[in-house]
């Protein structure tokens, strides 16, 4: 018997990193998990590792029709977790503005449209877990677009929480700090990733990054 027995969980970005760790935890606790992401091979590998009847729906969350198709694929949504998205790092004068737009299309509008389609399929007792990031409340260098996005997701979560409370739907925002073992693109050449992450880790008071399991623990607490 698991704490999430019989629950249907939709986890966007569930093919890797934080989303995968959450999907894994939910599946282990008995949830029927549906993961979404763009890369077929990544999803297939994740589904195989997840077991417990998990399945994937290939979805680009920047495309509203694909988000609708994802939510249409389940009879109801008990747990919605929206981890899909990437980050854009770099000095403000060097980042191509189009890359901020693309980040918002997936990581901001993707989360909002997942809520749009999922809420009518949620019963009292259901839960939404959005994903922002520490840049929403701490000042990080070279991350202006991502900081704006994280702040907006935090605000969106607060608004949805009070809007959906009368329906018995709880809304929370997971706001990861630096988290290791993810597939995130840090925007630096592969040979420089180690130094880049070491530099970020030095800014963390505990001098260690978080783990995807820390995030899964938090998401499980919020879900259960």
Ligand X SMILES: NC(=O)c1ccc[n+]([C@@H]2O[C@H](COP(=O)([O-])OP(=O)(O)OC[C@H]3O[C@@H](n4cnc5c(N)ncnc54)[C@H](OP(=O)(O)O)[C@@H]3O)[C@@H](O)[C@H]2O)c1
Q: Which residues bind ligand X (CB under 6 A)?
A: 12-13, 15-19, 36-39, 42, 59-62, 83-87, 106-107, 110, 131, 133, 176, 178-179, 182-184
- Terminus-to-terminus CA distance in the chain, angstroms? 14
Q: What is the nearest approach in angstroms of ligand X to the Cβ of residue 116?
A: 16
Q: Which pairs with CB-CB distance under 8 Å and at least 24 residues apart come from 65-72?
A: 67/110, 67/113, 67/114, 67/117, 68/113, 68/117, 70/10, 70/12, 70/34, 70/36, 70/114, 70/117, 71/10, 71/114, 71/117, 71/118, 71/121, 72/117
CB of 21 to ligand X, least distance (A): 8
Residue 36 or 71: which CB sits closer to ligand X? 36
Residue 46 Cβ, how far from ligand X at the closest point, in Å?
Answer: 8
**Can you tell me the distance from the alpha carbon of 132 to that of 154, in angstroms, rounded to the nearest whole number?**
7
Rank residues 15 and 157 by Cβ distance to ligand X and give the closer one. Answer: 15
Closer of 46 and 169 to ligand X (Cβ): 46
Q: Is 205 exposed, middle or buried (0-12, 13-18, 19+ CB in 10 A)?
A: exposed
Residue least distant from ligand X (Cβ): 17
Q: How far is the CB of 26 from ligand X (least distance, A)?
A: 15
Pick between residue 40 and residue 158 the one whose CB is nearest to ligand X: 40
């Amino acid at each position: 018997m698991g704490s999430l027995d019989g629950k249907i969980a939709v986890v966007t970005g569930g093919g890797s990193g934080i989303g995968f760790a959450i999907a894994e935890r939910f599946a282990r606790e008995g949830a029927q998990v549906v993961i979404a992401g763009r890369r077929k091979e990544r999803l297939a590998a994740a589904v195989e590792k997840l077991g417990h009847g998990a399945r994937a729906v290939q979805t680009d969350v920047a495309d509203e029709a694909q988000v609708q198709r994802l939510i249409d694929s389940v009879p109801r949504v008990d747990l919605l977790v929206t981890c899909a998205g990437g980050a854009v790092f770099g000095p403000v004068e060097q980042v191509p503005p189009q890359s901020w737009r693309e980040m918002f299309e997936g990581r901001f509008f993707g989360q909002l449209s997942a809520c749009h389609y999922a809420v009518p399929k949620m019963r009292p007792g259901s839960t939404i877990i959005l994903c922002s990031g520490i840049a929403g409340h701490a000042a990080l260098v070279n991350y202006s677009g991502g900081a704006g996005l994280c702040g907006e997701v935090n605000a969106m979560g607060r608004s949805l929480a009070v809007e959906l409370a009368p329906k018995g739907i709880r809304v929370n925002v997971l706001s990861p700090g630096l988290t290791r073992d993810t597939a995130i693109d840090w925007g630096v050449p592969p040979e420089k990733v180690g130094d880049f992450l070491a530099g970020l880790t030095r800014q963390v008071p505990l001098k260690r990054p978080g783990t995807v399991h820390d995030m899964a623990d938090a998401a499980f607490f919020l879900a259960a």
